[in-house]
Structure 1
Amino acid sequence: MVVLQMVLLLCAGSSLADDLFSPNVNIIAELEKLKNMEERIQKLEETLTKVLSENEALKTLEKDSQNKMEFFQKENEAKKVAFSAGLLESGTGYTGPINTPKTLVYKKVFSNIGGAYDPNTGVFTAPVKGAYYLRFYGHSHGGTTMAVSLLKNGETQCSLYSWKPTSNGNASNGVVLTLETGDQISTRLWQNTWVYDDPASYTSFGGFLIFPL
């Protein structure tokens, strides 16, 4: 009996030792699960970072595309340039003569596509670099001299002239000019000369962009 008890005690001690010193299978399995979970979380973080990076790239691309579209729209609008105006907004009458040259201000605006002509100053300002066609007309009555020049940035480009016609005098001129952005075009009445206008707009000024450069 004593021997049997001793054997049982030895077996129990051996089993307890095995439990204490042998790895616990459940703990290892849980640790393995945690390891796998950490790997999955890391992969998710990497995927999320990649998605966020791609999203930022898409936002940048979208912004660039929008900027380009706005640029092309503005450029296309800038290509639409044309104007035409008569000297007097209403009524009839002479302009001149005066002792010094005078910039003619055409008040009766028929069209001003692009808004490059200023009816307050009589000056057309080129919105884009390009080839432009400019034309102007003048009218005078018998016995008066009419002379008008077309100017680019204050420099005469071409002129029209009618010296004391016996009845009515009419003249016109036109030119194709290469203009830089901001170049200014106007017409100037010579000193001691006259121009006449009425609701028929005999004296007028106009032009348009042929093509940009």
Structure 2
Amino acid sequence: MWQLKFAILLCGIVANAKPKIAFTATLSKNTNVGYHEAVKYNRVLTNIGGAYHPWTGHFKVPYSGIYLISCTAMSETKKPAYLQIVKNHQVLTTIFSSTKTFPQSAQTLILQLRRGDRVWVWGRYERLTLRDNSYFNVFSGALLH
């Protein structure tokens, strides 16, 4: 009898288990980005659940829940970089990386997202260059709950 109770309990736990969704992607080279153009982080380090799409730069939310979204940016020395984290074309926050000393900037957000939402990073102003050859520009996300 206890085996049956244990099996029922285990099935309930498995049925209610949240899927694992997490990604981290970087740029493999210096990358030019235009006004409202998505940054296509092409070096995918982690893509558990397959929800990040490097050919578009978009993270498509597969399950409703609370997500952590993070982005770091480093501009070239001659021109600053203004980036924005966007959800469904709605700007959520801006990331600014200044000039001269290769400064890095970052933003981390905790968001309530619904299945089908899209989150990505785009250029805020005119054409900019993100400096990279060593994992300086990173876009990450994970389902927390």
Q: Given the two structures, how large is their TM-score scaled by the length of structure 1?
A: 0.58
Any idea what the Cα deviations from partners look like across 1:168-201, whole Å, max 9, x if unmatched? 1211101000001111101001232321111x11
SS of residue paired to 1:197: coil
- Unaligned 5+ segments in structure 2 are 1-7
**Is 2:85 the counterpart of 1:85?**
no
CA distance in structure 2 between the aligned counterparts of 1:143 and 1:128, rounded to whole angstroms: 41
2:131 partner SS: strand
Q: 1:87-117, CA deviations, whole angstroms, 9 ceiling, x for partnerless residues? A: 22xxx32424x4x321011110001001111
Output the amino acid matched with 1:134: I
**Mapped contact 2:30–2:129 kept (Cα < 8 A):** no
Q: TM-score, normalised by structure 2?
A: 0.83
Number of the residue aligned with 1:168: 102
Query: Over aligned residue pairs, what C-alpha RMSD do you find?
Result: 2.0
2:123 to 189, 195, 199: 189
- Is it true that 1:205 corresponds to 2:142 in the alignment? no
Larger radius of gyration: 1
Distance 1:80 1:161 in 2: 31
User: How far apart, CA to CA, are the structure 1 residues paired with 2:100 and 2:39?
Assistant: 25
Amino acid across the alignment from 2:102: N
Structure in which a larger fraction of residues adopt helix: 1
Equivalence for 1:140: 75
Deviation at 1:162, TM superposition (A): 2.2
Amino acid at match of 1:172: A
Q: Could you say which structure has the greater relative contact order, defined with CA pairs below 8 angstroms and 6 or more residues apart?
A: 2
Deviation readout 1:147-179 (Å, 9 max, x if unpaired): 11000111011111023x222121110100000
Kept after mapping to 2: 8 A contact 1:116/1:125: yes
Question: Contact between 1:127 and 1:182, CA under 8 Å: does it hold in 2?
Answer: yes
What is the letter of the counterpart of residue 101 of structure 2? S
* Moved segments of 4+, more than 6 Å: none
**CA distance, structure 2, for counterparts of residue 93 and residue 173 of structure 1:** 20
Q: Percent identity?
A: 24
List runs of 5+ in structure 1 lacking aligned partners: 1-64
Distance 1:185 1:129 in 2: 13
Richer in strand (by share): 2
Inter-partner Cα distance in structure 2 for 1:191 and 1:159: 11
